[in-house]
Amino acid sequence: MAIHFERERAHMVEYHLMARGIRDPRVVQAFREVPRELFVPEDCQAYAYADSALPIGEGQTISQPYIVALTVVSLEVQSDDRVLDVGTGSGYAAAILSRLARQVISLERICPLAERARLNLERLHCSNVQIICSDATRGWPLLAPYGAISVAASSPQIPPPLMDELEVGGRLVIPIDSGGQQTLTCVTRLGQTNYQQKMLVQVQFVPLIADN
């Protein structure tokens, strides 16, 4: 039976995002436009618009749509922002961010995933996204500072390079792991050494791994 992806996508936006408080018009429109089915394996496409994480290979997952949306809304991305996306995965979040920001720098430590994400984004003509295979815990200082930083892997603490690369007034969203319990946390940089944290929701992400 044929899957009507556009209808499924509209249903996801209405019932999994807007009904749960995701109302920013720019964010909602981005989720209406980006086809999530392109970012999951073919054998998972029937579940592309379920509000759940799905496997994408290499022991990694694509995050559930609501958590991606909550992250993006919390970042308050502006049209002239340069955004750092830590943990590219298959590229879905980068595709969403590309519709909101001036430029997206997306880091993925697993090079085969980075290459797949690059191809996915090329298919959608996301010309303002740069995919880099790199140790994401170090950030990408060459193009810092960033107006927003999204981290799609859990860590017991925020890697210092990411804190340093966030511009004053910018926001960083990361799952903080405290003894096995993960909390999606939004950090706002108020000054050179002054940061404010806000806990958002309990989550479950793969761990953020540094290359030795």
**Catalytic positions:** 63
| Burial environment of residue 18 by CB neighbours within 10 A (0 to 12, 13 to 18, 19 or more) | middle
C-beta neighbour count of 147 within 10 angstroms: 21
Task: Look up residue 56 and give its two tokens.
Answer: 């994408």
Mark out the alpha helices in 24-166 (DSSP H runs). 25-33, 65-75, 92-98, 111-123, 160-165
H or E, element range at 88: none
| Burial environment of residue 212 by CB neighbours within 10 A (0 to 12, 13 to 18, 19 or more) | exposed
Does residue 136 contact residue 115 with C-beta atoms inside 8 Å?
Answer: no
